[in-house]
Structure 1
């Protein structure tokens, strides 16, 4: 009984945290407080020299300052906490590939071949960690420094060192750690991020949310080019290639991806999409710290609100719920799998249902005209483990580990944000 009550309380608490009304109320209250205090729009940008997403954000932060009445404080960081960044080597390899696609979509420059530039790191950080008088001055120098660093251009770094004031080399580790610790203490873990009045915006993928928030607050001064065009991206696939979608019932982003497909069937080649369930990261030995889980929940909620997808009353399916959800899915005819995945995920992430209970399974069996005994006992054979593990191995061979992930021909991508890339169609 106590466990049931705790689950129920967690569900209603999640609904409150994810409430669209509360989300707007926080924005409005923050803006009212800003106006009362007569402060301008001010944000903090966290930049990591060795992070490709930070590299891409530099001209975008510059554009935000031009287009909106907003100023930035810059923090140069180097977050490398393994608990927040599982599969570090795979992440770095994938980030380079992904950043290349992002650069094409946003019309930005990005190096296609990275030489060994580690010897330039200290001098580059000496330039970047030194306080500049204006954000514009820092961004201009950061663009030059980062470009030289990422291209392994010793001569340019040397010239910049000669021409600019810079931090003492002995002070670099301490200053970098101080800034990184400040990022963690704020409850976040990713570079290339903007923190604006209580909310985090990671990389190019969340610029549209910051842009729209500032626009709603009346902060826009000029027209902006902060819109990606995924039609500009050259991809190693063909439009008629089949798409594998790897997902987890414990992933809110998986729910959003599948909801987008299920709610907009005319926009997707349904007959070519193959759903591949995997077990949650935590059951695969990949850590998910508390602050990361909280950010993911809030971030998924605001994306769902933006997309018009029901979200909020969450019932964590970890354990028996995941086992039974995968088993139900695998025991459903192929023609109904998208519908049942959407239903199960919606019941987990929007309606707070206990998908592990017998009464719930009986209801699902009746609605989808499935064999009730087969559904109730589907997980007993443990066949779902073999299927989920086989999908995990395929995902690993693709160089990925998180969900939702996609493969299409030789194109691989991670995250529901890459659906325009995979399906070669812009949705925003």
Structure 2
């Protein structure tokens, strides 16, 4: 093994875990996060498409009992009319594998989340307390399974709206007017949709696919719209995007600490890495009380991560970071011991008033500078960039006090109906929860909710 390889954070063949970390960091994570790599993939796809003489095809995967799919359905017709693309729709079911480790929690969160974000996108979602009953889901699927390609798009909003309104009478009337497929035919259509989704490399509903890239629901539609516009496929290039990226609005009102914003970050989460500093800034700018509750990474909590999910996460995170003007990549995966060691310093760092700085420094080093935090030299950079003394920090390395703190944070997060990171909770002046959601792409919603509460007094 060359010294050059070792200097880059590699390891000898006798240490396969470190070798694997180096390979996945350099050849997988960092590559997927690279703008150059994305640009080359897009150019290659367009060359092949032109040579084959195929049209611009956007594939959409609709899951009828998924709240995000109901929102996406409301924009499907507008997409097909505004952009010079052929929209191909697939009927799919919820994933039943390691890509969906908490299916019931995800279903409930998707419904609640969709209720909150719909008005901000000019869309509608009924304020329902539960997902539709299975009988209604089956009926909606059978109606859609009966439709032709264009018919699917034409009736989708009407069918989905009746379903999410729990309106059995309306669905029955639609089945009478539009037709409904047999159970066996419906199952085949769903199996075909699921197979195509797997073939292309994804696992969720409400997904758009174009040119080797995935775009999740209304939240990522702006990435797809930008890409199509850059290729001259937008018939209304002078008009606003159908689903523009919401901005984080921190003003004009400033709180006196009556509201509380809780942040649940993880040190191995790329999404945490691109939003953590912005969340701290939002708290400072708005004057709300800030409570940071770090938790263990999901994979270190026994939640599996698949290759498909990894590819999507790092590709998507890189796009989100670039759109927000946040540094992301190169990456050096800190999973395992580096995370534990940093967390072992966290209680001490908090005593020094530098807890948030330690987390921020670690995330930046691992996910924006590709620093090997499994080495003393890398961890020292983390500590010193956080404004802490490395020699003093070494006295606390390996301390176990953090374990009880993080476990309590995890239990609090789950009690709020959340499990992924980063998650956020906003508490009112009485300490009662007002909003609890998962995802870096919800910080804008918390910013708006803070302003709404301050305005209401």
TM-score, L = length of structure 1: 0.90
**1:261 Cα deviation after fit:** 4.3
2:393 maps to which of 354, 369, 375: 375
Structure 1 stretches lacking a partner, 5+ long = 233-237
1:82 Cα offset (Å): 3.8
Q: Give the match for residue 277 of structure 1.
A: 294
Task: Tell me which residue corresponds to 2:143.
Answer: 127
Is 1:305 aligned to residue 322 of structure 2? yes
Q: Distance in 2 between matches of 1:195 and 1:366?
A: 43
The answer to whether the 8 A contact 2:25-2:331 is kept is yes
Query: Matched residues in 1 for 2:381 and 2:155: separation?
Result: 62
- What CA distance in whole angstroms lies between the structure 2 residues aligned with 1:19 and 1:245? 28
List alignment gaps of at least 5 residues for structure 2.
Answer: 1-11, 250-254, 428-432, 451-457
1:420 Cα deviation (Å)? Answer: 0.4
Counterpart for residue 79 of structure 1: 94
1:356 equivalent to 2:374? Answer yes
Question: Counterpart in 2 of 1:168?
Answer: 182
Secondary structure of 1:380 counterpart: coil
* CA RMSD across the alignment: 2.6
Distance in 1 separating the partners of 2:106 and 2:228:
31
Partner Cα separation in structure 2 for residue 318 and residue 53 of structure 1: 30
Distance apart, 1:58 and its partner CA: 0.9
Tell me, in whole angstroms, the C-alpha distance in 2 between the residues paired with 1:389 and 1:133: 49
Q: Which residue of 1 aligns with 2:212?
A: 198
Alpha-carbon distance, 1:34 to partner: 3.0
Q: How does 1:315-330 map to 2 (within 5 A)?
A: 315-330=332-347
Aligned match for 1:29, one of 34, 44, 50: 44
Equivalent residue for 1:341, pick from 329, 342, 359 = 359
Alpha-carbon deviation of 1:101? 1.0
Contact 1:192–1:203 (Cα < 8 Å) also in 2: yes
Alpha-carbon contact 2:283-2:289 (below 8 Å) kept: no
Q: Normalising by structure 2, what TM-score? A: 0.84
> Using the alignment, how far apart are the partners of 1:336 and 1:114 within structure 2?
42
Decide whether the 8 Å contact of 2:262 with 2:426 is kept in 1. Answer: yes
- Structure 1 stretch displaced more, 372-381 or 320-329: 372-381
Number of aligned residues: 418
Moved more, 185-194 or 332-341: 332-341
Contact map agreement 2:266 2:272 (CA 8 A) in 1: yes
How far apart, in 1, do the equivalents of 2:423 and 2:39 lie? 30
**Alpha-carbon shift at residue 265 of structure 1 (Å):** 6.8
**Inter-partner Cα distance in structure 2 for 1:369 and 1:194:** 44
Matches of residues 208-223 of structure 1 in structure 2 within 5 Å? 208-222=222-236, 223=239
Cα 1:307–1:292 change in 2 (3 A) is: same
Quote the offset at 1:185 in angstroms. Answer: 2.6
Asked if residue 60 in structure 1 is aligned to residue 78 in structure 2, the reply is no
Q: What is the CA distance between 1:250 and its match in structure 2?
A: 0.6
Distance 2:247 2:32 in 1: 32
1:227 aligned to which of 244, 261, 267: 244
- Matched residues in 2 for 1:181 and 1:40: separation? 22
How far did 1:345 drift? 0.5
